[in-house]
């Protein structure tokens, strides 16, 4: 086995390790947003909560499902209810938007705290 082949194998194992961790972190962030912002169940993702709300014709669920269909994947909420797996790139896209939401919340909280003190 050449050095290049060994390096490629190490990189593939390392990238798979990182990908699994990013996906797990994305699920943790997703469930945390669901609990904190939308008063959802602790073991339920925001997508599932929004899909259930959309089926009950709640406005916030319909709006959030449309946003997720645009940002993550087409018909994302319905696919999460049907337990259809997401592609790796859809997972990365979801992780990006969730992380961006956390950053925006942190940014707003930082400035509110600065205004108070």
Question: What pLDDT, on a 0 to 100 scale, did the predictor assign at position 10?
Answer: 64
Is the pLDDT at 94 greater than 90? The verdict is: no
How high is the pLDDT of residue 2?
61
Q: What are phi and psi of 5, to 5 degrees?
A: -65, -40
Overall average pLDDT of the 93-103 stretch? 81
Give the number of domains in the chain: 1
Which pLDDT value is given to residue 7?
Answer: 63
Domain limits at 38?
3-116
Position 20 scores a pLDDT of 77
Per-residue pLDDT tens digits for 2-12: 656 766 676 67
CA distance 13 to 24: 17
63-81 tens-digit pLDDT: 989 988 888 888 888 888 8
Handedness of CA 52, 55, 58, 63 (dihedral sign): positive
User: b or e along 36-58 (b: 16 or more beta carbons within 10 Å of the residue's beta carbon)?
Assistant: eebebeeebbbbbbbbebbeeee
């Amino acid at each position: 086995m050449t050095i290049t082949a060994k390096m490629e194998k190490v990189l593939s194992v390392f990238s798979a390790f990182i990908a699994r961790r990013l996906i797990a972190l994305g699920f943790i962030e997703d469930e945390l947003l669901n609990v904190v912002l939308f008063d959802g169940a602790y073991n339920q993702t925001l997508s599932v909560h929004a899909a259930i709300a959309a089926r009950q014709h709640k406005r916030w669920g319909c709006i959030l499902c449309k946003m997720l269909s645009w940002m993550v994947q087409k018909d994302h909420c319905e696919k999460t209810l049907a337990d259809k797996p997401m592609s790796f790139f859809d997972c990365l896209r979801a992780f990006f938007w969730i992380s961006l939401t956390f950053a925006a919340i942190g940014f707003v909280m930082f400035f509110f705290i600065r205004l108070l003190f």
